[in-house]
Chains A and B, each alone.
Chain A
Amino acid sequence: MSTLHRSFVGIDMRTKKYRKSGVAALVMAGLSMPLMGGWLVQAAANPAPSRDVGYIERIVGDLKNIRIDRHGQSVQPAILLPLRVDDRVVLKRGSELYLQLGNRRVVITEKDSPYRVPMVDAPPAFLTRLRSTLMSLGSKLTSQYVRSSVPVSTSSRGHEGPLSLPVVEDDVSRLGSHRTALHIAWEGGTPPFVVQVLSAQGQTLAAKEGVQEWRLQLPWPPGAMMEGPARIVVEDGTRQRISKLITLVRVQSLPERVAQGDLPPALHAVIAADQLIQTNRRQWGLEAYQDLAPLADSYEPARLLRDCLEAIPSCYQR
């Protein structure tokens, strides 16, 4: 007690402050030492070296065209063959190997050959986990909730609003010129509608009159659409008119989409459309809409995504 007395009492406040912080630091250090020791022991022992990193899931082509070398010895390829780090896979033309490595699926073709099986990501050790937990906690504590709101109408309504083209962003939207039809939807206005696609020079490339619906598939002959600007015009029965500029681009200019080889075509199309939207919704929303619109009546995920794009504001904006 006397030590405590000497340490804490009867000393000038400024001196006391230093002593207090010193003692506090000592207490903290004392408590932390066993913990730090444990961490160091763990850091030395962790992570344990991994043995198998995955297995062969599918073999395409002749088995003779596939060679797997492990430590200089050849291993017979087979389904479910366990793979280890640094296994060397050599494929000849026409062969493909589907590998499950960790939680990733990897497809190897001749152009990847020879392929060395890589290490899979090691799970994080204690300190990394703790750091990321604290970071995430810190970011939650320091980020402010930003209230965003959009005006909504609480009345029962149909398409009574002013004419608008939510799926097209003026002078931003792009569309592949390889398409043979334009799927388009608009909001508001009064039927019947006239829908036109005009070239930059004002020449009519495709048109339809007397449209009673708010959606349309407007076909045009193959090759009629050239790369460059084009204008989509919708005019309603009361002569209200909306016009938006789009850019037709070559198919090669479209963003690359990750192949989902073994999925049903409809799901594949939806995923591809979603990838386009995620790349840049304003730029590629119209292109994605072209993939979704023909499927929407028969495939629920496509309908949901199409409705998302047609909504004002779209789900992606929200």
Chain B
Amino acid sequence: MGWLAERFAALTARPVFAPLRRRWSLLPPFAQHLFKSLLIGSVAAAVLSFARPYVPGLAGAETTATDWAIKFWQDRFDLSPTSNERFVFFDIDQRTYRAWGEPLFVPRDKLLDLIRFAAEAPAKLVVVDVELAKHVPLGGRVASASPARPASSDPVDPDLALAAYLRGYATASQPTADGTPPQAAFPHMIFARTIGPRAPPDAGLKNPPDAVVLREERPSEFLEDVVRASNVLHWASPLSDRDDDGLVRNWRLFEPTCLDRTPHAIPSMALLSWAVLRAPLMSQGAFSPASFGEELRRRFAPSAATCTPAGASPVASKASSPEPWVLYDGTLRKRLVLSSRPSDLEQRIFYKFQASTALADLFSRVPALLITERSNQPLSPDLVAGKTVVIGSSYEAGKDLHQTPIGEMAGAMVVINQINALMEFGQFQEVSRGIRWAGLLALIMIFSLSFSFFTTTWGAQVSTLVMNAVLLPLSLWLFQYGWWLDLVFPLFVLQAYQKFIDMDVHPPPVIRRHRHANEEI
């Protein structure tokens, strides 16, 4: 700093700056000090802004701050009734798991009962967060059919019964030959696709460091044809990102994959749910899930060579990132950006519902056994009608429990939170650059004032107090609307400012005494 100050002094000592020096010396000492402070603060902010990705601890502190804000707003009411989404979670909980005889796979006959009940209610949307890739072997115990629904008309194999039901459902949802729409409502159903890392053609091949690993979709052994032929049944990706500290913070809105050795891209369950419910504007014409999927594939599917067994390694080079796809949510009046390299903030899940949420009007958790194991008592569909139903599990052996910023929750709860976040806020957005810099300059002004009035210690205390009293509540308040006003960066600027500024005053008074240069000490 001393070297820099000397260089600066040498620069300003040149004759060309003489008028400026004269004007500067006419300024009162406080004003001189204030200008210096402002200049130093602005330089500190600019340097930090450019060096942002390299500042140690900044990214971690920002993540912690957003975690904290998410936790602060858990279990909150919706501010906009138009974006309200109501959820029912059919929970295969520990009690249900025990009542079903602790099966290795979720029994398909029980799952069929749950799906049928949700579809006939009718729900607004049904999301099945249970993997359905494999046939459940019949050698073991075949789960008994629900006493409330005799299975006389269904085939014996529960997998086939489920496939038959869904085939019939898909057929019935089609308009009739004369174009009349079906009489009953047929909610869209989204099923979790089994997705795994693609096996490398050469085990010894090392991935280049700037590569993303491609994943492969596993076709279902009994539902593939049924879902492919339908307009109301869809596959979607259940993948989310878990950070290295074990917390699931980010969604993955789509997944570039290979399917049957062909390039493919699959939307996440949350993205597809949002698309089905909001029907975003598309440049290719009216929205339909099929056209949405097709466009997603066109934009984000990997190259054909990466999916062939003898082709390149199962990685996609980051150098060939496709352009982001910008969709528009007419209800929220916000953009939704699909990008293969989303920003950290665009990926954050704004969790709302914790496992024991009290928001009874917006979220109900229903143990699945209430539907599958009831006796002859009547079952009311009113709780489910018109809501988004998510079927998932929380029993311990299911290994579908995840740590999140607001605590541990079942995978289906994560999905519910993702759908809700997209429907209620869309992606998080940072306050515009102009507002951020204007706010930062205002803060620097406050820092400068306080550092000009007081000594370093008191100036720092006052600045921190102002930041905490104004910026923190403002940031938290904006957060509920899906806007993030970064409060960590200004704190870092304040720290850098403290380091840069010259406050060498002896003895240190509580209130700074400003002197003219020609004043005697």
Residues of A within 8 A of B (CB): 1, 4-5, 8-10, 13, 16-17, 20, 24, 27-28, 31-32, 35, 38-39, 42, 45-48, 50-59, 63, 76-82, 100-103, 120-123, 126, 129-130, 133, 262
Contact = CB atoms under 8 A, between A and B. Distances in A.
Interface in B64-117: 72-73, 75-79, 81, 95
A46 B511 contact: no
Contacts of B366: 55, 80
B361 interface: yes
B379 A78 contact: yes
B473 A35 contact: yes
Contact of A4 (B31, B79, B470): B31
Given A28-B466, A52-B383, A79-B380, A123 B75 contact: yes
Contacts of A101: 360
B358 interface: yes
A55 B89 CA distance: 13
Contacts of A55: 364, 366, 380, 383
Interface stretch (B170-178, B198-206, B216-224, B474-482): B474-482
Nearest to B365: A100
Contact of B30 (A4, A48, A133): A4
Contacts of A56: 380
Given A4-B34, A48-B77, A52-B383, A78 B377 contact: yes
B435 to A, nearest CB: 12
A126 B72 CA distance: 9
B469 interface: yes
A126 to B, nearest CB: 6
B78 A48 contact: yes
B77 A123 contact: yes
B384 interface: yes
Nearest to B358: A102
B321 interface: no
Given A32-B469, A35-B470, 9 more contacts: A8-B30, A9-B31, A28-B469, A35-B474, A52-B360, A54-B364, A57-B367, A80-B382, A126-B477
Contacts of A8: 28, 30
Contact of B383 (A63, A81, A121): A81
10 contacts: A4-B31, A13-B511, A28-B470, A32-B470, A50-B361, A52-B364, A76-B378, A82-B380, A82-B382, A123-B358
B477 A80 contact: no
Chain B contact-residue range equals 35 or more
Interface of B: 27-31, 34, 72-73, 75-79, 81, 95, 356-361, 364, 366-367, 370-371, 374, 377-384, 442, 446, 449, 453, 462, 466, 469-470, 473-474, 476-477, 480, 511, 514
Across the A-B interface, give the 4 residue pairs with the lowest CB-CB distance, nearest first: A78-B380, A78-B378, A81-B380, A50-B361
Nearest to B450: A24
B477 to A, nearest CB: 6
Nearest to A42: B79
A123 B110 CA distance: 35
B322 to A, nearest CB: 39
A80 B470 contact: no
Contact of A27 (B76, B382, B446, B473): B446
A20 B449 CA distance: 10
A94 to B, nearest CB: 15
Contacts of B382: 80-82
B209 to A, nearest CB: 41
Contacts of B476: 126, 130
B357 A103 contact: yes
